[in-house]
Amino acid sequence: MKKRNRLVGFIIAVGFILSVSFTACGDSGGSSQSGSKGGDDKVVEWSFYSAYGPEDGACCIIWPQLFKEIEEKTDGRLVITSYWAGQHPYAEEDMLKALDDGSAQLSHFYSGYLSSVEPIFAADSLPLMLPTDSMEAWKVISGIWGDFDQDTNGILEKILQERWGASMVHMVPASPQRFFTCGFEVTDENSLAGHKIRTYSPEFAKLIQIMGGTPVSISFSEVYTSLATNLIDGLITSTAFAESGGFFDYTDTIGVWELTQSTDGLMVSLDALNALPDDVRDIFLSVMKTSATKPEMLEVEENNAIVERLSSEGITLTFPSDEKREIVKAAAKVEIWDPWLETVGDEGQLLLEQIDSLMK
C-alpha cells in the first residue's frame, strides 16, 4: 500500500463540486437521465464518496470491483463512480451527511468516524467489547446489522433508515485496532503513563486516559510528521493503515490488544435505491449481498501478511495477559461503555443485549 494522500487544494474540491453539481441537483437516482421504472433503458449515474484513499484498505479494492460487476450485469444502466478522500469536500465524519443532502448515492461507513454524529453507531467501536478473533467479531457485527436485506428488525439498520434515509448494503471485516509505539511496550493498565498517543475518536481518547496516557487528536495526514518530531510517541490504528502511512519508520512495537474489530461498511441512499428500475435495483442488491455474506476476508488476510513480514524484520509484537486485558476492560466498561449507554438510551441497551446473545 502507498501512503495516503489527503492534502488536496481547495481548487480541486471546488472544481469537483462544480463538476457534480448537476448530478447532485438532478433526480434522486443521481443522474440527469431518469432512473424511473418507466425508463429502464436509461443510464443512472451514482457517486460513491469514500473516507479513505484508493489504496487504504481492502474495501477500496473490493467495492470498485463490485461497481464494475453491477455495471456489466445491468448492461451499463447503473454506473457508479468512486471519489476518494480529497476528491470530494466531505470529511470522514460527514459520510452520513453526504447521503442525507443528496451529494452522493453511496458512502463509506466506519463507526469510529461516525460515532460523534450518531453515537449508537459506536457500538462496535467501544474498546474491548468484541471478541479478539476476527471471524468471531465479524459474526457479531454482521449480526447486529442484519442480513443486508433492508430489514429493519436490525436495530442499527432501522436507525440508519429512519434517521438518515440510508441502508447498509455491504461490509468488509477490517483489521483490528492496535497500539503502535516507539521505544515502549503496552502490556498493562499503566503502560501509557507519560506518553502522548494519537487517537481519532472520543472512545479511544478516554481509553488512553484510563491507561495513564495523554490523547492527541490530529488528522491522519499529520501523524507521520508528528511521530518524526516527537509530538506523539504512539497511536491507535490498524496494521494496514500503519503500513500505508509509513509509521514503521518511527514505531517499533505493536501492542496486539485487538481494541476493536470494526468493519468498513457501504451505505446507499434509500431515495436513490428506490428510484432505480426494479431489475437494476435487484441486481445491485444481489451483487452486494452475495459479496457481503461470504464474507470478503481480504483485509484480514493482508493484515496477517503485513504482521508476519514486520515480525521477520524485527518489529516487536506484545500481547497483554488475559488478566491485564480484563482489568482495562473493566475500567472501560465503567468509563466508556456505561456513559455511552446513558447517551443512547434504550436502543443501546437492546443493542448490547443483542451483542451479548450473538457472542454466546
Per the omega criterion (within 30 degrees of 0), is the bond before 295 cis? yes
pLDDT range class, residue 109, cuts 50, 70, 90: very high
Q: Is 246 left (phi over 0), alpha (psi -120 to 50) or beta?
A: left
Sign of CA dihedral 34, 35, 36, 40: positive
Is the pLDDT at 182 greater than 90? The verdict is yes
Is the pLDDT at 222 greater than 70? The verdict is yes
Is the pLDDT at 114 greater than 70? The verdict is yes
Dig out the grid coordinates for 223 from the structure. Answer: 501523524
Spatial distance between the Cα atoms of 109 and 124, rounded to a whole number of angstroms:
12
- Choose among 225, 202, 181: nearest CA to 316: 181
Percent of residues, the chain, with pLDDT higher than 90: 65
Q: Could you tell me the pTM of the whole model?
A: 0.79
Residues 248-265: tens digit of each pLDDT: 999 999 999 999 987 899
pLDDT at 40: 64
pLDDT at 30: 55
- Choose among 268, 264, 256: nearest CA to 295: 264
In the chain the domains, ranked by start, together with CATH numbers, are 10-175+263-301 (3.40.190.170), 177-260+302-359 (3.40.190.170)
pLDDT at 15: 47
pLDDT at 18: 42
Is the pLDDT at 327 greater than 90? The verdict is yes
pLDDT at 11: 37
Q: pLDDT higher for 310 or 20? A: 310
pLDDT range class, residue 5, cuts 50, 70, 90: very low
Is the pLDDT at 313 greater than 60? The verdict is yes
pLDDT range class, residue 112, cuts 50, 70, 90: confident
User: What does the pLDDT average to over 208-224?
Assistant: 94
Residues 57-102: tens digit of each pLDDT: 889 999 999 999 999 999 999 999 999 999 999 999 999 999 999 9
User: What does the pLDDT average to over 259-280?
Assistant: 95
Is the pLDDT at 29 greater than 70? The verdict is no
Is the pLDDT at 34 greater than 70? The verdict is no
pLDDT at 202: 85
Cβ(106)–Cβ(332) under 8 Å?
A: no
Q: pLDDT higher for 124 or 162? A: 162
Q: What are phi and psi of 117, to 5 degrees?
A: -90, -45
User: What does the pLDDT average to over 44-51?
Assistant: 97
Taking each continuous run of H as one helix and of E as one strand, the counts in the chain are 15, 11
